[in-house]
Amino acid sequence: MIASPSRRSRGNLAWQAATRIPAALLVAFILLPVVALIFGTSAGGFMAGLRHPLVGPALRLSVFTTICSLTAIVVLGTPLAWLLARSRGRLLRWTELAIQLPIVLPPAVAGVALLFAFGRRGLLGAWLDRIGVHVPFTTAAVILAEVFVAAPFFIQGAVASFERLDQNLVRVARTLGASPARVFFRVALPLCAPGLARGAAVSWARALGEFGATLMFAGNMSGRTQTLPLAIYTALESDLRAAQALSIVLVAVAFGLLWAVHGSGAQFAGVRSREGGETVERA
């Protein structure tokens, strides 16, 4: 049976409506809160919100702790990602799966688990307690919570980036006298740097937004463990403008990261695109 043109176009119309209306609804739903957040304030209100006494310490603490956690994640995570990307062994396959656990784990559970590990009577904490190290409810706990929840995002990105590396480049480098270490630093790292940077950006965003695990494991003490998300939570009860201003700051950061992550793609071959330059002597 052949549908008449009018029936066919009616069918098309119905299909278009059936796809576009739900799509538009979801986009509107996701954008509405962000729009409401930004348009619900004035420049003056925003500035006043930023001057709230909660803001300064929380901003400083968030910058400090995320720099520490991101450094730990990159320094420890890059070798792990390299191993995971290059091995097909069963143990490492399981490791790759296990390391992604924090992505699906509820943050509150992560907080409780960290307490059981590092708390005064915890698995490692009891031993740490004996040598006088107390982790929970300190700035160190904030950093540990951030590493725990954010590391998998970097590892995922880094493994994917290393796996995309052309194996022939690695092979040729070896035949040219390069040790495995030199292959890593001179071939793999420069070529995978954009992918690693994208993984680090996503990981940093996750660390910056960390709330649940931090609250349970590190508490909510201004200047010591009160990061930006916790300050927003606290300000919600006292000064809505401060909560709003901080939220706008975090939205701006998030947008910046999204742009950096997606706007910096497609440059694999152009890691270094300058013409000329004498680097032969560099031995």
Partner 1 sequence: MLAVELQARIGTLDIEVDLAVSEGPLVLAGPNGSGKTSLLLLILGLLAPDRGRVAIGSDVLFDSSRGIDLPPEERGLGYVPQDYALFPHLNVRENVAFGLESQRTAAPDVDRRRRVERLLEEMEIASLSHREPRLLSGGEKQRVALARALAPQPRALLLDEPLAALDVSARRQVRVFLAKYLAGLQIPAIVVTHNAADAIALGTQMAILEQGKLVQRGTYAQMKAQPQTPFVAELMGSFPTKT
- Min CB(155)–partner 1 separation in Å: 23
- CA pair distance 250, 213, nearest whole angstrom: 19
Please state, in angstroms and rounded to a whole number, the distance separating the CA atoms of residues 185 and 33.
44
The two tokens of residue 10 are 């009616």
From CA 220, how far away is CA 68, in angstroms rounded? 19
Angle, CA 159 vertex, CA 213 and CA 185 arms, to 5°: 115
Please say which residue, 106 or 180, places its beta carbon nearer to partner 1. 180
Residue 131 or 181: which CB sits closer to partner 1?
181
- Shortest separation between residue 96's beta carbon and partner 1, angstroms: 24
| Residue 162 beta carbon to partner 1: minimum distance, rounded to whole angstroms | 15
128 vs 189 by CB, closer to partner 1: 189
Nearer to partner 1, 46 or 268 (CB): 268
Residue 26 vs 169, nearer CB to partner 1: 169
Toward partner 1, which CB reaches closer, 187 or 231?
187
Cβ atoms of 190 and 272 within 8 Å: the answer is yes
Residues of this chain that bind partner 1 (CB under 8 A): 166, 168-169, 171-179, 182, 186-187, 190-191, 268-273, 275-277, 279-283
The Cα 80–Cα 96 span in angstroms is 9
Shorter beta-carbon distance to partner 1: residue 147 or 187: 187
Smallest gap from Cβ 32 to partner 1, in A, equals 44
Question: Could you tell me if 264 and 197 are in contact, meaning their C-beta atoms sit under 8 angstroms apart?
Answer: yes
Closest distance to partner 1 from the beta carbon of 179 (Å) = 6
Is-contact 49 241, C-beta < 8 A? yes
**Smallest distance from the beta carbon of 88 to partner 1, in angstroms?**
14
Q: How far is the CB of 178 from partner 1 (least distance, A)?
A: 5
DSSP states of 174-208: HHTT--HHHHIIIIIHHHHHHHHHHHHHHHHHHHH
Tokens of 158: 């880094």
CB-nearer residue toward partner 1: 237 or 281? 281
DSSP 129-181: HHTT---TTSHHHHHHHHHHHHHHHHHHHHHHHHHTS-HHHHHHHHHTT--HH
Helix axes 228-238, 55-86, angle to 10 degrees: 150
The CB-of-86 to partner 1 minimum distance in angstroms stands at 13
